[in-house]
Structure 1
């Protein structure tokens, strides 16, 4: 049938493409590989080069002294700049400085900008001053909010931890926000500076910091250590492993191996997918750390866990753009279609997944690894920076009509994804060229020039891919003619339509492990070219063939729904009919622009590259129907509209939670309560120890209180009160998958008799959350039907 036919055209669909063979290749590809140094690669004009330049301007706009503010003042030294706001003004302060150090390093390597190196060295020197003033090895900017509300130097929490006082809900630790995560960012930045140009002061500051936390961890027994590791700690295991690699001191290896979260990592070692409902980005760095430990110790279980995690996430938990997680959390495997929201694809997750991909590839080259890398790099990373402003997204929303929200560099929020964004967009040349056993591997078709020192070769890669099919690699210089292999990645989706030529003549390469291997005697001036077919294809969401996206080569296309300034108020477009791809007509092939005619409901739509929709609204995923199924869908939609119209007619009062004016109009008061937004709906929750309450109008007669919830909340319980009287206890436990649902609570007439309004309150017991609640409505009960 037609739906199957279109899906058969996607033989290399994303859910199937990253199937990596971890066994040894029969020959041709090297056993291991490493990238050409970033300092040896220079980008040529392209959207990637534009992104780097926008990011360089942003990095140089930041003030090192402002980022150093808390590091200095908490050490008892005068600060030279005011404290930044956003997250840098919160208890997670200091994480940005670590990212900034790493970003300065790769920007220096990518562009040669000496100011980046000067700034990094300056920051290291200032950190060394602060560390020396403290005298304990600790250096940090963390803040801690005490129970009395006073904000102080966050170091004091580690004294409490050493005494066994460990209080955390996963991100908070004794009044500080993910403190070990922040420590890792600073640690990693110091190690990056040391590795890049041998700054020994950076290594010494890192050793001092490592020693401080070695003492903290040594004070804990195994159970206490596991409790501590329940709070996000980034890739701290990787930093300790790397410090061991740099120094040879086995004490750091011992600490690295102890930083092991059994609850998350044991199932992965056992090859079990238990990722559902856990915070995604908290986990990825743990696997990168395990991978680094494998490289140093050779323990196969560490490598197996990293490989299993990568396969599981890319095949069963990832969206078409390569990102993962909804509201920062993994859902159940193969449920992507039920989690297409404005809270999808946190950039940090993809930044770390690409880092893990590079790591796995270095162990055993396989083209499927870079099929995923290319997809996520092009469609997510490139979508997460607005090249006009230099701002970054936190989430990259895939909900139809949702707008990307970018940080404002002039008033920066300093989210975690600003940190990974400033790193990611400083190093777009890092994975184009790789080498191993005398072979040159070309993994990304991005315009660039490079020096391949092993062969004394100058390389020039010219291409407009993925807008045009051909990429040409010229050996501009070659110290000595000779025979070697150039391996050109052939993406799985390309099928048999790949063409390779050498010096303009067709060449029949050996195909191995996702590569076209061109093995010959080379001389300066030789040109090898590869042409990849860029046909359109449909790709289904993992676990749901009826939800599809459109791709052209590696590029995700999106329906253009208009400018961000115009709110999206339409219905989600759908695809209806047979032979869907045949109805896409090219408008500007050089821009990958098409119009889908006659198959879209409610109207024809223009499709363009998703990543470039920085200030436009998009639709990426579409439900597909036969003509008959669409008529049934329309009927169900009309019935639901009739039901909503009936409820609206009987409504006495409606409370739009999470919206400023309705909350004011209803006299909302709250404690430890926050507005939320999800799937185009606003709402509000209340955390442990808090509540929210508000007025609602009433009228005589039986009334029903209706509350709206999302059907896949993690397990929680809370009470609902009317004028201080509990009318219900609600439990949420992910039992309405993929949709919002309403719960109706009859209100005893005694609570409303003689009144014009009542006070409605939502409150959770200890260690619970109330809601989120996405709207509350009071309406009259329907009259009882007469008995026949």
Structure 2
């Protein structure tokens, strides 16, 4: 067992490129050593085709099988409902529920098409191909009926509340009537983001299923979008891009790559969101309070543009962003974001909540990692990739049901919440369909006669460059032995196997045909070059030792890992409530206190160091239907004794607040605002000092629906204490309950103000509408969150 170390001390120099320094357990120097010899590791790499890889039995194969079954249960015609309807064609299936029935409708079809295409390449299942071809043919039919290249399923909510075809927003936009507010564009929920997913589905259908009609549909749609942007000046383009637009720049870059029509390259470069991308290109981390998954696809688009144009500023922005996110904004499972937003660098210990790690963010960070790795292969990239793929992406799906999480909560005792079959279709359900269709896509990479083995996932691969078929067998990450065998090779041939040695591995053993073998090591790879023949075997053995890792920026908050795998305390079944304290670890040698309970299943127990009691630790990703604790405050005995009283008092206070809480509204955040049916006009999301909120300017308002109960309630609203000249009203179900004036009397802090809610307004109701209206000439808020509490005493209503 290894001692606990701070992440910045771990294995300095693990990767000569220095692109993952300070990532837990795989830190790297910032530059290659001066005068270093030329590396035999090739300068670039490309992934072997997904169709060349077949998974063998493992947890990854289980995930693919569960996902495949779900994809086959879904209906293409139900995803096509709005596409058919808005083109004036007969609908063939009822629209799905959840997001597919909201104004973002249609996004699911793009993801579904990608997932089917990826699954077809991964498995070769013949039943998938007709679905792919059918969807593309129907989109072509829709496009023909539209007559102008348009194809979409999203909708628009008018000011009068009527929901209509989203196509009607584009003539307005072309006239310069642009209303963009974070996630809403002229009453439509993220239409360009939606189109990015449609383009991706079409491209994947061409790439993985050989459907060339898909490219023609993409060209027609691109022509429509190009006409929209051609009507706008540069300032207006930036107004549009203020609404989440996914990687629409990547869509046009990829279309250029496939057609070589410079029209698409010019548009891809024009769709450059200056406010976010310029600071990154200039090496400034201004990510705090930005919506994580809104930004990552923009950078993936820049990565694709760099590959097509060689423009270094694009590569620099991607490289800087990746370093900052993986080093300073990521949790131990590789995910990022609290309630979907970045916090300040090195502050994640303050953001271990029930809303951590949106799955889409990791899905996209892994895509970005693949781009960076292909430009300059280094094992350190796959130290990050493996960590996130294993600990977050696998945790994102329940393989028993095939359903997906939105967030992966790291707050102690919080259970994962999974989607339903037909009535959610959150973005993370849709990216999950893709993530679990392609677990073989990053195992093997090549350049010339070098084969990189980056992920140790049981599989076979046909390496066409050498005519070799290899088989990888292992119990990793539960076991440390990884076996490769040359199953087929005509004659004998010289080539290099580049085997990744993770930066957390303190040692390794290498056998070739059962005999010890020395190999040079460069950029985290063991390079085994020899004349190979059928039947040759390689065994790489890695020590799966325990270690503690500190959260970025806080040595006192730690997590437990074994090899690449995060271990978590098992706090009981998800279907049973958890009301205990968040556990802590106490002792002079916390790491040395863990005892192995089941080596094969990676089960350990703390002995004498757990508080309030000792705990069983098992792999976090596999606790699909359990409540877990991942992060722990670490104390010496003396420190614990001094802090225990305050620790328990604070836990009790938070628990009491949670018990009194009826509903909470996180203003300025996409999903909570959707969940609470936010309605607004002349109202904007804001962020300040790490908190998100919303205001309403003169003539505007914002309202939302909150759960309620009978009995005396208190509405609590949070404001920044230095706000001045704010004058507004709060009403509940149309009756004003407060007149608020903020005049900057409490500088330097956020303040909570409470307003009694008359019992008559909630009696017999399950919900009420809360509304904020500014006095003319003034602003309402910003309001940084609203809660409804049960009153605890008569004094609370005074």
* Alignment-derived partner of residue 67 in structure 2: 55
Query: Once the 2 structures are TM-superposed, how far is the Cα of residue 150 of structure 1 from its aligned partner?
Result: 1.3
Counterpart pick for 1:406 among 383, 398, 418: 418
| Residue 743 of structure 1: aligned partner | 752
Q: 1:133–1:440: structure 2 CA closer, same or farther, 3 Å change rule?
A: same
CA distance in 2, matches of 1:337, 1:716: 35
User: Residue by residue, what CA displacement relative to the aligned partner does 1:334-392 show, whole Å, maximum 9, x if unpaired?
Assistant: 00100001111111100000000011111110000000000000000000000000001
TM-score (norm 2): 0.86
Alignment correspondent of 1:785:
none
Mapped partners of 2:483, 2:271: distance in 1: 46
| Structure 1 gap ranges (5+) | 660-669, 675-682, 699-703, 783-788
Aligned to 1:241: 253
Q: Is the 8 A contact 1:318 1:336 kept in 2?
A: yes
Q: Residue 285 of structure 2: which of 269, 273, 281 is its match?
A: 273
1:621 matches 2:631: yes
- 1:643-669 Cα shifts (integer Å, max 9, x gaps): 899x99xxxx9663359xxxxxxxxxx
Aligned counterpart, 2:310: 298
Q: Which residue of structure 2 lines up, in the alignment, with residue 417 of structure 1?
A: 428
Provide the C-alpha distance between the structure 1 equivalents of 2:157 and 2:499, rounded to a whole number of angstroms: 54
Matched, 1:452 2:463: yes
Q: Following the alignment from structure 1 to structure 2, what is the Cα–Cα distance between the partners of residues 712 and 56? A: 52
Q: Give the superposition deviation at 1:720.
A: 6.8
Structure 1 contact 18–314 (Cα < 8 Å) conserved: no
Q: Assess, with a 3 A threshold, how the Cα gap between structure 1 residues 686 and 114 changes in structure 2: closer, same or farther.
A: farther
1:690 aligns with 703
Instruction: Give yes or no for the alignment of 1:35 onto 2:47.
Output: yes
**Conservation of the 8 A alpha-carbon contact between 2:494 and 2:532:** yes
Preserved CA contact (<8 Å) 1:7 1:538: no
**Measured at CA, do residues 195 and 80 of structure 1 come closer, stay the same or move farther in structure 2, by a change above 3 Å?**
same
Contact 2:450 2:498 in 1 (8 A): yes
1:535 is aligned to 2:515: no
CA distance in 1, matches of 2:25, 2:722: 29
Match of 2:79 in 1: 67
1:234 Cα deviation (Å)?
0.8
Please give the root-mean-square deviation of Cα atoms over the aligned residues, in Å.
Answer: 3.5
Name the residue aligned to 2:588: 578
> Are the counterparts in 2 of residues 455 and 480 from structure 1 also a CA contact under 8 Å?
no
Check whether the contact 1:6–1:580 (CA below 8 A) recurs between aligned residues: no
Measured in 1, the distance between the counterparts of 2:522 and 2:407 equals 37
Provide, for residues 9-30 of structure 1, a one-character-per-residue CA deviation record: whole Å limited to 9, x for no partner: 9547744625476769821111
Could you tell me which of 373, 398, 420 is aligned with 1:386? Answer: 398
**1:290 and 1:734, CA in 2 relative to 1: closer, same or farther beyond 3 A?**
farther
Q: Report if aligned partners of 1:475, 1:526 keep a CA contact under 8 Å in 2.
A: yes
Offset from partner CA, 1:738-760 (integer Å, 9 cap, x none): xxx8736699xxx99xxxx9x99
| Aligned pairs for 1:716-735 within 5 A | 724-726=737-739, 729=742
Tell me whether 1:610 sits opposite 2:620 in the alignment: yes
Contact map agreement 2:483 2:539 (CA 8 A) in 1: yes
SS at match of 2:600: helix
Check 1:214–1:734 CA distance in 2 against 1; reply closer, same or farther (3 A cut): farther
Task: Determine which of 216, 224, 229 is the counterpart of 1:212.
Answer: 224
Q: Distance in 1 between matches of 2:504 and 2:284?
A: 28
The equivalent residue for 1:157 is: 169
Q: 1:38 touches 1:427 (CA, 8 Å); kept in 2?
A: yes
C-alpha spacing 1:269/1:465, structure 2 compared with 1 (3 Å): same
Instruction: Specify the alignment match of 1:662 in structure 2.
Output: none
> After superposition, where does 1:330-409 map in structure 2 within 5 Å?
330-409=342-421
SS in 2 for 1:234: coil
CA 1:716–1:620 in structure 2 vs 1: closer, same or farther (change >3 Å)? farther
Q: Does 1:17 align with 2:26?
A: yes
Aligned to 1:108: 120
Aligned to 1:680: none
> In structure 2, which of residues 192, 201, 204 is the aligned counterpart of residue 189 of structure 1?
201
CA distance in 2, matches of 1:26, 1:20: 17
Distance 1:713 1:383, change over 3 A: farther
Alpha-carbon distance between aligned partners in 1 of 2:387 and 2:332, rounded to the nearest angstrom: 8
Query: Which residue of 2 is the match for residue 313 of structure 1?
Result: 325
CA gap 1:713/1:337 in 2 versus in 1, 3 angstroms: farther
2 CA distance for matches of 1:760 and 1:191? 44
1:581 is displaced (CA, Å) by 1.1
Could you tell me which of 414, 423, 437 is aligned with 1:426?
437
**Residue deviations 1:31-57, cap 9 Å, x none?**
111111110110000010010000000
Q: Deviations over 1:556-585 (max 9, x none)?
A: 000000001111100010011111111100
Match of 2:662 in 1: 656
57 and 642 in structure 1: CA distance in 2 versus 1, 3 angstrom threshold: closer
Deviation at 1:774, TM superposition (A): 3.4
Aligned to 1:443: 454
Counterpart of 1:514 (choices 517, 520, 524) is 524
1:635 shift after superposition: 2.5
2: CA distance, partners of 1:713 / 1:121: 59
Q: Distance in 2 between matches of 1:434 and 1:734?
A: 56
2:737/2:755 contact within 8 Å kept: no
Q: Which residue of 2 aligns with 1:89?
A: 101
Change (3 A) 1:695 1:84: closer
How far has the Cα of 1:151 moved from its partner?
A: 1.2
Q: Matches of 1:395 and 1:201 in 2, distance apart?
A: 36
2:578 maps to 568
